[in-house]
Structure 1
Amino acid sequence: MHPGDDSQVSNPSSHWLRNSFGFAVAGTAAYFGYSYVNGDWQTWVDRQKEVKKEVIDVNDLRADFIQEKRSLKSPAVYTWGSNVYKVVDPGSKGTDVKTPRRFKYFNDQVLRDFKVDEKSGAAITENGDLVQWGKGYSETEFKPTKTLVGKNLASLVLSESRIVALSSDGTIYSLPISKEDQSTGPKSRESSWVPFWGSQSTLSYRLLKPSLKLGEKITAIRGGLEHVILLTSYGRVFTAAASTEHYPSLGQLGVPGLSFTTRPSGPVDMCHEVTALRGSKIIEVASGDYHSLALSKDGRLFAWGDNSFGQLGVDFEPEFPFKDTPFALSLNKLYRLNTSSPKVTSVSAGGANTFFTVDSKRILGRGEEAANVRDLGRVTADTWTCGRGIWGTLGAGKWIHLQDTPIKVKDLSGLGEYDEKTRQMLPIRLRAMSVGTTHVAALLDNKTNLSAKNTGELDKTNDWGYEVFWWGGNEHFQLGTGKRTNLPKPTYIKAPPESRQNLEPEARLQIMPRHKGKVGKRTVSMEQRVECGRHVSAIFSAV
């Protein structure tokens, strides 16, 4: 080697790289040899095959809600949360389902209604038949089974022990949830279109018969654990017991002094008119576990029943834990009435919670001049809540055991968007809300699209969908986040990615608005709806 001859000089870094590479190869070979000897080699090979063969299962939620066409062409039901009683996934051995999972029985079906509770589930098919499942229905056969058929049912509510279902013609059926009680209970005589050709029903049920006027019919039903609320086409309200285990004695029937011992003679589940609401045309009713609400056409909110957590929106009084006479909730403490004109526009309830929305219009205050008020006539849409908040169910960012004065859900209040057509800011209101025992879901009425002209034709809509928020208790993964963490504020849920490689950007879960989609070979108008029950959640395609 001659001095100055660079070609003959060894590079220390190259030696290090060469030696490192040699050690890595040797180590890898040693690992594979060890794996082969110990039987782990085949496991590693199988794992690689699984990776290579990995495909997207079209029966799970991947890509749904962020892929428009799949949602249009594949109506389905997705459930998640507590599965202890085989309600979320009857075929699974797991006690909880952490994220939305397709309910295979309802694949390619659109439904009239869908309700899930921790112990049982019930749905109304497109042709009006009742389907039940879960251990609450049967301890041995908890898979979906058609029960009450041929009644053209339209909607239903679940109590602690019974199902109350409303038919399209206004008839109200009350039947036990339990399959055994349906088969062993008293059965009524059913009429036939052929004179004197009646027959006995195949299962036990009762008819609720409110005293209706000529031309009046029941148009909506809502229910709690022990009672049901009936709204008529004339704006009247009736209530009835809806449990075979407990009589509603916390004032939720809205009849002063009514209890099991003071009830009038007749059936235990006889219908009672809520006479305190006479003179007010009621357009909407809602029910928690043990309390009731009614919204009048002129924007007044009436409440009655249990107030143990302040869910009626008035001070909790330990000596008077419930109110059996409906009263109008005052908005005086919520708005400055000298500069705003508030009006309640919707009401929702569940568990021990109440939610209501208010449109507040800016008006001229005393001594104000119109020329000096820039926001005169502007409408602000707000969401208010009261009741139990220990799980964050209030959505106000607080953990509160009892909230007896309504507080604003700020994340769902004062929202607005600019309308190109009217060239002004318009409020964004809630489109729908579902309140479970400990958690809540809310849809914003902000359907957006990419084209200037919307269309309902199949595969030609450019709708993005409605924004949906979730919050509250998450002890059984009912929020769909995959974690048990409770959320005290309305929060987006991420839509699962289209592929497991996670190549596309994250997307929020959204709810499809009404559109035309394929059900078999038929084209059907449908929309997605959200349902929150007791520790369970669902999204279903509704006709």
Structure 2
Amino acid sequence: MDVKVKGADTNRGRSDAELTTLVWGANKMHVLEDDLPESVRVPTPSEWFDNVALRDLALHEKHAACVDARGDVYQWGDGFFGNEPGSSHGKPRLTLRGKNITQLQLTGSRVFALSASGRIYVLSARQVDQALPTGAQTPASTPWWGTGWLWGEEEEVDFAEISPNEKLKWGERRFVQISAGTDHMLALTSEGRTFAHPVTLNANSHGQLGFRKCDVPAPADIKHMHLPHKHPRVQLELTPKSIADPYANAAPAFRPSGSSTRNLDLLIGKDAAEAGLDDSNIRFSDKLFEIPALRGVKVDRIATGGRSSFAKTTTGRVLGWGANEYGQIGLGANVTLEAITVPTEVILWRATPATVRTTCVDVFAGGDLTMFEVERSDGSGMPYIDILSCGNGQWGGLGNALYSNAQSTPVRAKNVSGLLEYNEAAKNMQAIVPETISISPTGHVLLTLDTRKHAGPGGGGKDVVVWGANFDYQLGNGKRGSLPTPTVLQTPEGERLMLYRKKAKEVRDMQGQVWKNGVEVEQRAVAGWNNSVVYWKICQ
């Protein structure tokens, strides 16, 4: 069936597309589209993605990226094209091709790409920094000679591969998930091992890496990383700021003399301070390191906030570490530390009867906000799903109908917790499960309720529930003003915005070429920096 979105701004010169991407919110950096205004008040079609279904899409403050149906990466936004005189914003540009990419994660300076074969690549977030090094046939670092010369394919942009510092175990063939914060990245292997990667020298500012000691290439050799010889390495000791300078937040009268000047030796180690490392280069760090405290702990889901990290085990428990000044780790009111430097279990069954079993199903994070999807069951009644939130809710992002800038004990989000629905097939009541939650680093939340699963024959789509910050119309209701209570997204005409799954007649790549016919696709909601996108995703 064709999906028509009532209430969306369709008064644009455009053809009728079977697959339409909807965008709304802040567009100052042209991450939504170059022809749209700086503020898009309601869900509006984007001409860039007519009849296009993607593998993944990621938004940052000044740049964005996507993976098209062929597994190629495209980048755009003012932060990507640059603001130099004579430069202009434009349509998404092909950057990384032929790597069969499935997932993207963005930081302010990097684009991390995970391939179907489990390799992790990194590109610069700026077009000007993607020029190939002089004399480099291919930037791929393993193997150093690449394959481009064999088939006559020259790489057009500079990129690097990030590999584990130790060989993966027999049968542990690949990485299956990546998640990036502001300055660090986590990666999960097919066997449930958790690795971390320092993106910049601030990667462990609050203990979010899970370790202090690692090594990086010596600066003098970064330019020659593509050449086949061993390179000297520099030892890093990334000490959390709360340990390197315990008086950082103290009043001047209580600070020891000289402590106001940040001691670089204490923060990154003497060798690194003397080496003059440049963490703006994509080859600043080329390795992933297993988190020591999680050795032997089988993990099936990872998530990162801006400066925090989370790992969900296969047994339904959650460990968190990193920044905690807003209570975003969720350790409760008795833990007042601003930085949790060791993975620590988050207790999700506080204030529940002893007979109720609580299992974490998923964990989501963004900025200084964290959400846990948990299943509750007492063994007698129907299990139900709760959404628990913690962290910075000063714009209503906690979803508990309150504005609070610090919440250390996970609280139950209203209107999306404990929901039950009659299942036509099973002829009984069953829990409504959130399909996915997208948390913006700037404080708004998009949650997709899987109301379609139990709808029966002719059932409709999935509801989008929104709440949190709304200064740039990022909640899509055409109004400004934050919402502290989860609310079903409605168009100005009062119609619910539903997300659908269907078989598309044809799917095109980002070049406009037909990729395949009869492809199963579904709509996916993504919360960006003060903006939101609903795009068509290829079903795996």
TM over 0.5: yes
Alpha carbons of structure 1 residues 214 and 142: separation in structure 2 relative to 1, 3 Å:
farther
CA distance in 2, matches of 1:59, 1:90: 25
CA distance 1:428–1:439, change in 2 (3 Å): same
The CA RMSD over aligned residues, in Å, is 3.0
Q: Taking structure 1 as the reference length, what is the TM-score of the superposition?
A: 0.77
The secondary structure found in structure 2 opposite 1:464 is coil
* Residue number in structure 2 paired with 1:27: none
TM-aligned CA deviation for residue 333 of structure 1: 1.6
Count of aligned pairs between the two proteins: 450
The alignment status of 1:276 with 2:289, answered yes or no, reads no
Give the TM-score normalised by structure 2. Answer: 0.77
Gaps of 5+ in 2: 10-15, 214-236, 239-266, 273-282, 509-513
Q: Distance in 2 between matches of 1:263 and 1:175?
A: 29
Of residues 366, 374, 383 in structure 2, which corresponds to 1:358? 374
Give the Cα separation in 1 of the matches to 2:421 and 2:151: 61
Q: In percent, how many aligned pairs have the same letter?
A: 31
Structure 2 residue corresponding to 1:519, chosen from 504, 507, 515? 507
Paired position in structure 1 for 2:33:
89
| Contact map agreement 1:475 1:485 (CA 8 A) in 2 | yes
| CA–CA distance in structure 2, aligned partners of residues 425 and 526 of structure 1 | 28
Cα deviation 1:134-158 (Å, max 9, x = unaligned) = 1110122322111111111111001
Where in structure 2 are the equivalents of 1:428-467 lying within 5 Å? 428-437=432-441, 438-447=443-452, 452=457, 462-467=458-463
Contiguous gaps of at least 5 residues in structure 1: 1-57, 66-71, 364-375, 453-461, 498-505
Q: Give the counterpart of 1:261 among 244, 268, 272.
A: 268
**Between Structure 1 and Structure 2, whose CA radius of gyration is higher?**
1
Report the CA distance between 1:207 and its aligned residue. Answer: 1.0
Match of 2:327 among 304, 310, 316: 310
Show the counterpart of 1:124.
67
The one-letter code of the counterpart of 2:63 is S
Using the alignment, how far apart are the partners of 2:489 and 2:349 within structure 1? 36
Residue number in structure 1 paired with 2:13? none
Counterpart AA for 2:79? G
Give the direction of change, closer, same or farther, for the CA distance of 1:199–1:447 in structure 2 (3 Å limit). closer
Q: Does 1:410 align with 2:414?
A: yes
Report 1:43-192 matches (<5 A).
61-62=5-6, 74-92=18-36, 94-139=37-82, 140-143=87-90, 144-183=92-131, 188-190=138-140, 191-192=145-146
Maintained 8 Å contact 1:308/1:322:
yes
Distance in 1 between residues matched to 2:496 and 2:95, nearest whole Å: 37
Whole-angstrom distance in 2 between the partners of 1:59 and 1:178: 36
Q: Which position in structure 2 is the counterpart of 1:333?
A: 350
Q: CA offset at residue 439 of structure 1? A: 0.3
Q: Does 1:203 align with 2:125?
A: no
Between 1:419-428 and 1:198-207, the stretch displaced more is: 198-207
2:178, 2:188 within 8 Å by CA — same for their partners in 1? yes
Q: What letter is aligned with 1:261?
A: I
Quick check: 1:301 aligned with 2:306?
A: no
Pair 1:161–1:214, CA change in 2 (3 A):
same
Please state if 1:288 is matched with 2:236. no
Higher-helix-fraction structure: 1
- Where do 1:10-21 residues align within 5 Å? none
Change over 3 Å in CA distance of 1:424–1:161 after alignment to 2 = same
1:275 shift after superposition: 2.2
Residue 407 of structure 2 aligns to which amino acid in structure 1? Q
Name the structure 2 match of 1:322: 339
Deviation at 1:534, TM superposition (A): 1.4
Q: Residues of 2 paired with 1:428 and 1:264: CA distance?
A: 54
What displacement does 1:73 show? Answer: 6.6
Residue 312 of structure 2 contacts residue 318 of structure 2 at CA under 8 Å; is this kept in 1?
Answer: yes
CA distance in 1 between partners of 2:334 and 2:119 (Å)? 39
Contact kept, 8 Å, 1:309 with 1:316, in 2: the verdict is no
Aligned residue for 1:276, secondary structure, equals helix
Q: How far apart are the structure 2 equivalents of 1:112 and 1:542?
A: 6
Which residue of 329, 344, 347 corresponds with 2:360?
344
Residues 112-152 of structure 1 show CA distances to partners (whole Å, capped at 9, x for unaligned) of 10111221110111001111111110122322111111111
| Residue 242 (structure 1) aligns with | 199
Say whether 1:534 aligns with 2:529.
yes
Which shows bigger deviation, 314-323 or 179-188? 314-323
Other structure's SS at 1:335 match: coil
Task: State the Cα distance separating 1:196 from its structure 2 match.
Answer: 6.8
Q: Could you tell me whether the CA contact under 8 Å between 1:189 and 1:199 is conserved in 2?
A: no
Return the offset for 1:77: 1.8
Taking a change above 3 Å as real, the CA distance of residues 59 and 512 of structure 1, as seen in their structure-2 partners, is closer
Structure 1 residues 194, 108: closer, same or farther in 2, change over 3 A? Answer: closer
1-structure distance, mates of 2:291, 2:445: 28
SS of 2:365's partner is strand
Relative to structure 1, the CA distance from residue 248 to residue 162 in structure 2 (aligned partners, 3 Å threshold; closer, same or farther) is farther
Structure 1 residue matching 2:331: 3-state secondary structure? coil
Superposition deviation, residue 387 in structure 1: 0.2
* Deviation sequence 1:310-334 (CA, Å, 0-9, x none): 0000247898411121011123424
Task: Judge conservation of contact 1:362–1:377 (CA < 8 Å) in 2.
Answer: yes
Per-residue deviation, 1:184: 6.1
